[in-house]
Every structure is written in C-alpha cells, then in structure tokens.
C-alpha cells in the first residue's frame, strides 16, 4: 500500500461483498474474499451479502455506516455502469458523501469471465477488492454545484433558421437577441425567385415569418450587425454586438444559437464561367428571374455538381439537384412569364394546351412510349429520339447534366418525375469526363460524352446554369473562434454528434442549425432551428445548470500559463485568467481528464481520478500476497 | 523472435516457471472499453485471470506517468482500452491517447522494455468478444515475454524510473500534448505541420530527455564521472558531457570533489519533493 501521507484523518472503510446469488458466489469463494478484505488497512468492517442491491443489502450498508462510523464504502459486486447510482444514493442516505464510494466489479470482470477456475478467480477477486480499498483510502468528498442561467438567448443569423429559432424561443417567453449582418432579415432565401412545391415566390413564402419576428416583442433585432466578442459559458454569456454606424451593445444571455447560413460557391475557372456569356450559377439565375432579365431561351443546360464532390469541395451539397429540378420545371412551365419575350410566352401557352393532357392519359402515353422503346426500336435510336425530339411545353429544351440525381425523399422524387414528364432530359456524366462549355461561331455549346451511346456529342444551348454547392460563410472561422466551437473539414460548423446530437455543439450552451452546419433545404433548416431552440430552452427554462463535480482543477502555483490545456480541451472549459494562468470553467468541464494528462507542468488534477487514487489502485494490483 | 525471448528467459530464471503468473493492469475508459468488458462478462466470454482493470472516464486520462510508474512498480503488461477513433465520448480524447501511447512506447524502448508489454486497443461497448480475445492474446504475449525485469534488475528499474521522469518533463509533455492539434489543425500561424518532421523532433527530444533523466537517476545513487556514465548507459561521452552541462545549468546536478583528475557528478536532491 502507498504512503499514507495525504490521509489526514484515518479512514474508516466498510467493504460489502456480494454473492449476487450464485452469479458471483458460484465461481468465487466470497467468504474467503470477505475474510481477506477485513485484513486490509483502514477496513473496519467487511461483510458479505446474498444480494447487496436488494433491500436487505442496502439496509445493511446504511446500518453499518452508522454502527461502525464508516466514512467510505466499498461495494464489491457487479458493474458501476448500472449499479453505482443506487449504492451512491444509499451512502448519501446514511450521511456518506457519494464520492466516498468505490465500486469493485467482481462479476462482469471476474466471476463471469473466469467460470472454470475458482481458485484463481477468488485470488483475482481479492486483488480487485484490495485495489478498491487502496483507491477508497484516497477519496475526497465532492460537492455538485448549481450554476444560475440568464434566461435569454442570442441567435446569430436572420435567415430562415435564425428567425425560426428566435421565434420559437421568443414564443416560449425568453428574450432573444437576433443578430443579422445584412440590412434586413431573410437570409439566403430572400434572394431566390421561386421555391419548390409552392407557387408562391420566395419572398411571399418567407414574409409571414419575417412579419411574425417583427411582431414578436421578445425579439430584439440587430441588423447590419455582428457578434464582436463573447465571454463566459453556459448560462452566463456576455456578448458584445457591433452595429454599423452605432455603438456596440452589451447583452447577457444564457444560450447561443448559431444560424449564420452558407453561400453558393463561385465556380471560378470551371465550365467556362465568366469566360463565355450566359454561363451563370443557379443563384445568379434566380436573381435574373427576379429582375426579369432572362433572355429568350430555346435550349438550357444545367451542369450539376459544378465545383462539388471532388472539384473545389469534396462533399455533395444536397440541395442542388432539387434546385435544378425546381428551376427546370419553372422554365418548362414558364412560371411568372420568366422567359421574357411575350411572343415566346404566347407560343409556350399554346404549346401547353397541346401538351397538357389529363394526368393518367399522360402516364399512359409515357408507359406506351417506354414499351415501344423496349420492344421495337433499337436503344440507340430511342436515345437519339430522347436527345433530339420532344421539347417541353414552354418550347425550351432543358437538359440536366448530372453525376446522379439526389432527389431524396418522396416529395423530391415526385418533383423529379414531374420534371421528366415535362421532358426535361437528365444526361449522366462521369467525374473523369466532365461536360465542356465552349462557343462555336459565337454560339454557346456543351460538349459531353454520352454514356449510353459511348460517343462525344455537342449540344447548342442559349444558357448554361451551373449548380454550385453551398460553401461555408467566409467569416465562419471568426465566429467559431469567438464561441470556441469547431468547424469541420469543409468549413461548416460541426455538431457534437452527427447522429445523436445534431444541433448541439460539444460545448454546452451553444447550438447550431441551418446551412451553417452543412447544406440543407428550407424545411430542414426550419426543423433544425426548432430543434436547436428546444435544446437551448432546456437550461433557460430550468434556470440553472448542474455542474459536474468531477472536473479538472488547476494548481495556480504550478501553472505557468503555457496554454496547452486550453488547446486540447474539446469543450472550451479552460481559459486563461487575467494573470495568464489557466482556470477551469466548471460549468463547461466534462471531466475527461485530457488537460490533466497533458499539462506540461503537472498543474492540473482530475477530481476523483487523481494520479494518487489511480496509482494506488493500479499498484495495489501488483502486490504479492 | 518471440521464441528467442522465451528460451533466453528460460535459461536465466532460477525459480521454476510455473510459479510465475503475469501481472497485468488494464486502464479502460468508462464509456466504451469498460462497457465492452462488462458485455464480455454478460456474454460469458472467458479469458485468463491475470488482468486487473482500472476504470477511468476517458483513455485520454491515462498519462505516460500513470503507465510508466506502474511499470516501475513491476507490472508485466499494461493494456489501455478506449473508444474507437471518432467515437470517443469526449470527442477527441482518444486521438490524444494515441499520441501519448506512442510516447510511452518510445520511452519503453529507450528503457529496454519490450514494446509488446504495452497495448492500446479500441474496444467498443458492443465488442465483448473482442475484449476477451484482446485480453487472451495480450496475456499469452506477456507469458512469452516472461516476467518484467524491473523487479529483479536495478539498472532496469533505474531506466524505467528515468523513462517515467522523462515523460513528465515540460518538453515532452508539451510536444506530445500539442502533437494531435499540430497535425490536425496546423500550427499557431495556420501552417501545415509536416508529420515526419514532428516525429523526428519528438524522437530526438525523447532520447535526450530520457538520457538526462537516466543520468540524474544513476548519479543520485552514487557520484559518477562522464566516462562511467557513458559506459553504463552506452552513450558516447561527448553526448553525456553535453547533457551534464545542461543539467548543471539547470542546477540539477553538481560536480563533486574530483577523484584524481576526473570530476564526478552527483544529482542534487530536491528538498521536500517526492
């Protein structure tokens, strides 16, 4: 056993060894282990129970604590992962701090895995009990503290996600500070022309949301503004909001939601962008639609994944296929007379009448067409026909060059089908053979390799629309540093867990939603925003957070302020104080112990998992008996 | 290779081999490996009785000091169990564990302890059977390596003690502490850090710090000359001298009354500290 130098008062340890029926008793000589336990230093009482976790056993613990004036308890039975809370409560009920309790696992880690060697299993059980007792001797009582929470929130970003989150929290009654860097609310969506699956314009669609935000008195809006500084931790953030042309404002909040959105990639140097006229990104096309500046079109080509999936960024941007499908349908239907010239429109309308038979008739036609192709005409001929003929109702030929169409979900799949019904052609290309945009005699054309025909082809077009991926905001890194939350590889904010905690950050008190955490459509952004708001509401509604008792502690006399602990902490739970010395933000610490194992000066100790406790336990395993 | 070890060990030992049972300590993280060991028990997968498990919240808590001190106390083998990479309950904890274990292995190598005595394994909460396989395989491996010489060989004990001291130096702790972040996020100027170069830096630092720690360890027992230290440690004397100059500058070692013309050095005892 190690030196007793740090033990001020002589410990009084009680050891309770469980038979667990025959689960332990059948493979380990529990009586012998109990007898051995009673000989260990500072053990004043040792006993065995048939079931320590049963009423009898628990009462036995409570009574023994009183009778033998025990100040720490060792239970040697099953696993702390299931039973520690029960025994801890029992200790507390009898006046022993729950951190003065030690669990020794002699079932999962002994009797059940050594069922055929009772002698050795008994010896191991003795060793394990000795290790537990050695640890128990160095335990210290701990207090769990509650930290007050300021019941207000900061939402960064005034797009669909930000507004939805702000509104949810404000409707729950919490004051919300909504910060938007542009001059008005609306975010990315307000620049769009039309939305999928609704006949409303984008502006019409989000106006009700903006109106609600404007009407909600709990929301304070800051436009033309940015988050300048953030200090503090969950429940207690001091935020300074900088506004163009006026003094910065200080607010106190308990939770922060990041909803800063994303921007479309500018495809510099790809597919003749900026090189040929009429090569635009899908975002620019939306703007042209809004300004009613779409030229006369006879033929349009979309190029999907322009800059995505291995070109400029590695990921699939998730929304672009649906955007292209939406835009293709809008063009085919000549929505809002978007195609400019009136005579075109008249033609298109005339065409529409002819081409718009009842749904089932059309489906029948399609079926016939498909059967006909399969049966009689050669495949090549059929594809030729698909390539050459059959312009959609607006009279514009629409082709979507894609790697694969990601129209995920039932609604999007239906829209995809609708586009095909409108004779929008989807032509596949492979990543090693990208379509080429060029001009011939002043006329724009797309050259591509037809995967079915196995031949190079060219298609004259009036306009090329590049579906570029969403990329992270250029100032995401600044905000990530201010909030001490991570960005993933692609520059988007990274959630705590991709599946189980999709709108939390690892750091408590900060939440994320919308396209700043990765491409998402409007509905997804809105659901994430509602989720983030409800997560943020937990500490706000409780009014307090329970801080971990098991946190790291900094010895200020040893710390030299090198800052290595601040770098390695995944929770931003360490910061340097005004003296340049590290301090632990108890409310943010999760007690993993990384900082303690890292600290070059050995100045950081992990509560309840000190070097002394762990070494006493581990070295006790090596003692010769 | 293992076979060779085995026979060599047989030749040296005096007591009959049957008596010896490997003493193995396992440090397991609460969330994955400990739960995996629990599942192993629940599923009744059997494994040898030699291992004694210590629970920590995260494998990242297992500092080189914990491991090397337990080796110094005579452990024959140490197993560290954590969550699989990217599954860590504490996000990035096990990435740091990985770097720390690399340092431990470097230091064990310096001390002449077979690296096979230390094993890092990722065992998830659902890998009960894997846990039994890992423990069985590891125990068999330790059995082949034979008992740790730390208990019987003073020089070996001094070396492991030096490895432990070296692992706690500011230089090594700071280097290894920053290693994962340097490699994954770049340096403070946002520049990418060359992994090979960094490894080279850590290798040199490890050797230096180990040798200095060993000088202090040996010169604590009795004053020694540069030549003696060089011979005992099998390190060129010019290098020993450079270490000694530095250690003297840091008031860690003092020159004692020379025997004839050869100065000897004695480690300065630090009052009050352990």
A233 shares a domain with A275: no
Determine the distance from the C-alpha atom of residue A171 to the mean position of all C-alpha atoms in its chain, rounded to a whole number. 24
Distance CA A488, CA A364 (A): 49
Nearest-neighbour CA in chain B from A109: distance (Å) = 6
Give the chain B residue nearest A130 (alpha carbons). Answer: B52
Q: Is residue A244 domain-resident?
A: yes
Residue A2 burial (C-beta neighbours within 10 Å; 0-12, 13-18, 19+): middle
A114 shares a domain with A88: yes
pLDDT of A392 reads 54
pLDDT of A170 above 70: yes
Q: Is residue A625 domain-resident?
A: no
Nearest-neighbour CA in chain A from B139: distance (Å) = 14
Give the chain A residue nearest B70 (alpha carbons). Answer: A619
Of A260, A257, A240, A258, give the one whose Cα is nearest residue A249.
Answer: A240
A409 shares a domain with A332: yes
CB pairs under 8 A between A and B: 151
Cβ contacts of A81 on chain B, cutoff 8 Å: 30, 34-35, 38
Query: Are residues A594 and B96, on separate chains, in Cβ contact within 8 Å?
Result: yes
A602 shares a domain with A522: no
pLDDT of A370 reads 53
Query: Are residues B41 and A594, on separate chains, in Cβ contact within 8 Å?
Result: no
Average pLDDT (A497-501) is 86
Assign residue A325 the CATH number of its domain.
3.50.50.60
CA A293-A296-A297 angle, to 5 degrees, is 115
Query: Are residues A611 and B66, on separate chains, in Cβ contact within 8 Å?
Result: yes
Best of B52, B56, B148, B172 to substitute, by most chain A Cβ atoms within 10 angstroms, is: B52
Nearest-neighbour CA in chain A from B56: distance (Å) = 7
Q: Give, for B212, the enclosing helix (H) or strand (E).
A: helix B195-221
pLDDT of B202 reads 96
A166 shares a domain with A78: no
Residue B151: Cβ within 10 Å count: 16
Cβ contacts of A128 on chain B, cutoff 8 Å: 52
pLDDT of A115 above 70: yes
C-beta separation of B51 from B24 below 8 A: yes
Q: Residue A76 — pLDDT band, cuts 50, 70, 90?
A: very high
Nearest-neighbour CA in chain A from B39: distance (Å) = 7
Give the chain B residue nearest A596 (alpha carbons). Answer: B61
The minimal CB distance from A596 to the residues B42, B45, B61 is found for: B61
Best of B27, B49, B129 to substitute, by most chain A Cβ atoms within 10 angstroms, is: B49
> Scanning the structure block, which residue is given the tokens 């502006």?
A203
Cβ contacts of A116 on chain B, cutoff 8 Å: 46
A167 shares a domain with A39: no
Domains and CATH numbers, chain B: 2-148 (3.40.50), 154-267 (1.10.10.10)
Query: Are residues B42 and A108, on separate chains, in Cβ contact within 8 Å?
Result: yes
Distance CA A226, CA B9 (A): 70
Query: Are residues B180 and A568, on separate chains, in Cβ contact within 8 Å?
Result: yes
A59 shares a domain with A126: yes
Best of A22, A488, A614 to substitute, by most chain B Cβ atoms within 10 angstroms, is: A614
Q: Residue A8 — pLDDT band, cuts 50, 70, 90?
A: low
Which has more pLDDT, A570 or B5? A570
Cβ contacts of B131 on chain A, cutoff 8 Å: none
Q: At what angle do helices A55-67 and A80-93 cross, to 10 degrees?
A: 50
Average pLDDT (A43-49) is 97
Average pLDDT, chain A: 89
> How many folded domains does chain A comprise?
4
Q: What is the pLDDT of residues A173-222, one digit of tens each?
A: 999 999 999 999 999 999 899 888 888 889 899 999 999 999 999 999 99
Q: Is residue A134 domain-resident?
A: yes
Residuewise pLDDT in 10s, chain B (274 residues): 344 444 444 444 444 455 799 999 999 999 999 999 999 999 999 999 999 999 999 999 999 999 999 999 999 999 999 999 988 888 899 999 999 999 999 999 999 999 999 999 999 999 999 999 999 999 999 999 999 999 999 999 999 999 999 999 999 999 999 999 999 888 888 888 999 999 999 999 999 999 999 999 999 988 999 999 999 999 999 999 999 999 999 999 999 877 677 889 999 987 544 3
Distance CA A421, CA A393 (A): 10
Residue A531: Cβ within 10 Å count: 18
Q: Which of A108, A142, A176 is the last residue of a domain?
A: A142
Q: What is the pLDDT of residues A392-409, one digit of tens each?
A: 556 899 999 999 999 999
Q: Is residue A4 domain-resident?
A: no
A380 shares a domain with A358: yes
Query: Are residues A622 and B173, on separate chains, in Cβ contact within 8 Å?
Result: no
Average pLDDT (A281-289) is 94
Cβ contacts of A123 on chain B, cutoff 8 Å: 49
Query: Are residues B45 and A611, on separate chains, in Cβ contact within 8 Å?
Result: no
The minimal CB distance from A109 to the residues B37, B69, B92 is found for: B37
Q: Which of A469, A498, A514 is the last residue of a domain?
A: A469
The DSSP secondary structure of B66-85, one letter per residue, reads HHHHHHHTT-SEEEEEEPPT
Cβ contacts of A105 on chain B, cutoff 8 Å: 38, 53
Q: Is residue A242 domain-resident?
A: yes
Q: Is residue A239 domain-resident?
A: yes
Q: Is residue A561 domain-resident?
A: yes
A393 shares a domain with A293: yes
Residue A25 burial (C-beta neighbours within 10 Å; 0-12, 13-18, 19+): middle
Cβ contacts of B34 on chain A, cutoff 8 Å: 79, 81
pLDDT of A362 above 70: no
Of A614, A124, A1, A4, give the one whose Cα is nearest residue B69.
Answer: A614
Give the burial string for B207-239 (b: 16+ CB within 10 Å, else e): bbbbbbbbbbbbbbeebbbbebbbeebebeeee
Q: Is residue A273 domain-resident?
A: yes
A216 shares a domain with A83: no
Query: Are residues A115 and B46, on separate chains, in Cβ contact within 8 Å?
Result: yes
- Scanning A94-201, the segments in alpha helix (DSSP H) are 118-136, 160-171
Residue A108 burial (C-beta neighbours within 10 Å; 0-12, 13-18, 19+): buried
A209 shares a domain with A314: no
Query: pLDDT over 70 for what percent of chain A?
Result: 90
ipTM for the complex shown: 0.91
Cβ contacts of B89 on chain A, cutoff 8 Å: 592
Assign residue A127 the CATH number of its domain.
3.40.50
Q: Residue A174's domain spans which residues?
A: 148-261+473-545
Q: Which of A142, A160, A194 is the last residue of a domain?
A: A142
Cβ contacts of A598 on chain B, cutoff 8 Å: 96, 173, 177
Cβ contacts of A121 on chain B, cutoff 8 Å: 49
Strand partners, A74: A15, A102
Average pLDDT (A584-609) is 94
Nearest-neighbour CA in chain B from A624: distance (Å) = 10
A291 shares a domain with A426: yes
């Amino acid at each position: 056993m190690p030196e007793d130098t740090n033990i001020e008062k002589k410990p009084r340890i009680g050891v309770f060894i469980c038979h667990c029926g025959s689960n332990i008793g059948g493979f380990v000589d529990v009586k012998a282990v109990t007898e051995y336990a009673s000989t260990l230093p500072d053990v004043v009482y040792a006993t065995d129970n048939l079931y320590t976790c049963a009423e009898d056993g628990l009462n036995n613990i409570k009574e023994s604590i009183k009778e033998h004036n025990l100040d720490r308890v060792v239970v040697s039975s099953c696993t702390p992962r299931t039973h520690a809370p029960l025994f801890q409560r029992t200790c507390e009920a009898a006046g022993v701090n729950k951190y003065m309790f030690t669990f020794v696992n002699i079932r999962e880690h002994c009797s059940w895995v050594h069922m055929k060697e009772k002698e050795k299993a008994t010896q191991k059980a003795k060793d394990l009990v000795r290790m537990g007792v050695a640890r128990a001797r160095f335990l210290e009582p701990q207090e769990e503290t509650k930290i007050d929470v300021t019941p207000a929130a900061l939402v960064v970003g005034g797009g669909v996600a930000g507004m939805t989150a702000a509104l949810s929290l404000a409707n729950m009654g919490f004051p919300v500070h909504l910060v938007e860097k542009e001059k008005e609310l609306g975010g990315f969506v307000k620049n769009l022309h039309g939305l999928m699956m609704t006949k409303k314009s984008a502006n019409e669609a989000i106006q009700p949301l903006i109106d609600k935000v404007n009407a909600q008195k709990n929301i304070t809006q800051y436009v033309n503004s940015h988050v300048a500084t953030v200090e503090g931790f969950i429940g207690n953030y001091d935020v300074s909001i900088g506004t163009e042309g006026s003094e910065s404002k200080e607010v106190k909040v308990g939770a922060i939601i990041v909803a800063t959105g994303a921007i479309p990639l500018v495809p510099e140097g790809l597919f003749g962008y900026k090189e040929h006229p009429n090569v635009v990104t899908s975002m620019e096309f939306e703007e042209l639609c809004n300004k009613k500046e779409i030229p006369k079109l006879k033929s349009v080509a979309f190029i999907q994944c322009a800059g995505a999936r291995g070109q400029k960024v590695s990921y699939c941007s998730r929304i672009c296929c649906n955007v292209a499908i939406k835009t293709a349908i809008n063009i085919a239907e000549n929505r809002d007379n978007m195609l400019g010239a009136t005579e075109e429109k008249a033609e298109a309308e005339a065409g529409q009448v002819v081409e718009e038979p009842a749904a089932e008739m059309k489906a029948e036609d399609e079926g016939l067409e498909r059967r006909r192709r399969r049966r009689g005409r050669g495949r090549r001929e059929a594809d030729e026909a698909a390539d050459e003929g059959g312009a959609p109702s607006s009279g514009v030929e629409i082709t979507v060059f894609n790697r694969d169409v990601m129209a995920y979900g039932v609604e999007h799949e239906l829209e995809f089908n609708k586009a095909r019904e409108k004779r929008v052609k989807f032509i596949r290309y492979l990543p090693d053979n990208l379509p080429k945009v060029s001009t011939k005699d002043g006329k724009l054309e797309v050259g591509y390799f037809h995967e079915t025909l196995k031949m190079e082809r060219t298609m004259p077009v009036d306009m090329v629309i590049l579906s570029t991926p969403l990329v992270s905001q250029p100032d995401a890194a600044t905000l990530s540093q201010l909030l001490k939350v991570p960005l993933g590889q692609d520059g988007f904010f990274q959630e705590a867990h991709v599946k189980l905690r999709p709108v939390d950050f690892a750091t408590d008190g900060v939440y994320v939603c919308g396209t700043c955490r990765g491409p998402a459509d409007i509905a997804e952004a809105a659901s994430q925003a509602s989720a983030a708001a409800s997560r943020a509401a937990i500490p706000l509604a409780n009014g307090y957070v329970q801080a971990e008792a098991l946190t790291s502690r900094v010895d200020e006399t040893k710390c030299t302020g090198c800052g290595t602990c601040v770098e390695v902490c995944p929770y931003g739970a360490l910061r340097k104080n005004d003296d340049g010395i590290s301090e632990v933000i108890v409310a943010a610490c999760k007690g993993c112990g990384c900082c303690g194992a890292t600290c070059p000066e050995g100045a950081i100790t992990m509560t309840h998992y000190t070097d002394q406790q762990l070494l006493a336990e581990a070295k006790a395993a090596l003692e010769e008996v | 290779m293992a076979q060779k070890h085995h026979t060599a060990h047989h030749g040296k030992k005096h007591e009959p081999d049957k008596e010896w049972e490997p003493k193995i300590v396992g440090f397991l993280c609460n969330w994955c490996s400990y739960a995996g060991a629990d599942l192993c028990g629940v599923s009744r997968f059997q494994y040898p009785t030699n291992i004694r498990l210590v629970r920590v919240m995260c494998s990242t808590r297992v500092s080189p000091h914990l491991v090397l001190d337990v080796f110094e106390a005579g452990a024959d083998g140490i197993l560290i169990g954590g969550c699989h990479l990217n599954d860590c309950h504490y996000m990035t904890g096990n990435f740091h564990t990985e770097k720390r274990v690399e340092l431990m292995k470097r230091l064990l190598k310096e001390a002449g302890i077979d690296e096979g005595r230390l094993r890092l394994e990722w065992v998830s909460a659902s890998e009960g059977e894997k846990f039994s396989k890992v423990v069985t395989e590891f125990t068999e491996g330790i059995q082949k390596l034979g008992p740790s010489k730390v208990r019987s060989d003073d020089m070996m004990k001094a070396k492991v003690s030096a490895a432990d001291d070296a692992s706690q130096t500011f230089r090594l702790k700071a280097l290894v502490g920053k290693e994962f972040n340097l490699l994954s996020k770049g340096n403070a100027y946002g520049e990418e850090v060359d992994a090979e170069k960094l490894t080279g830096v850590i290798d040199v630092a490890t050797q230096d710090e180990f040798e200095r720690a060993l000088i202090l360890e040996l010169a604590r027992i009795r004053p020694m000359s540069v030549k003696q230290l060089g011979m005992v440690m099998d390190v060129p004397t010019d290098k020993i001298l450079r270490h000694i100059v530095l250690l003297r500058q840091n008031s860690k070692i003092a020159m004692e009354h020379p025997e004839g013309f050869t100065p000897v050095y004695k480690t300065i005892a630090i009052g009050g500290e352990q």
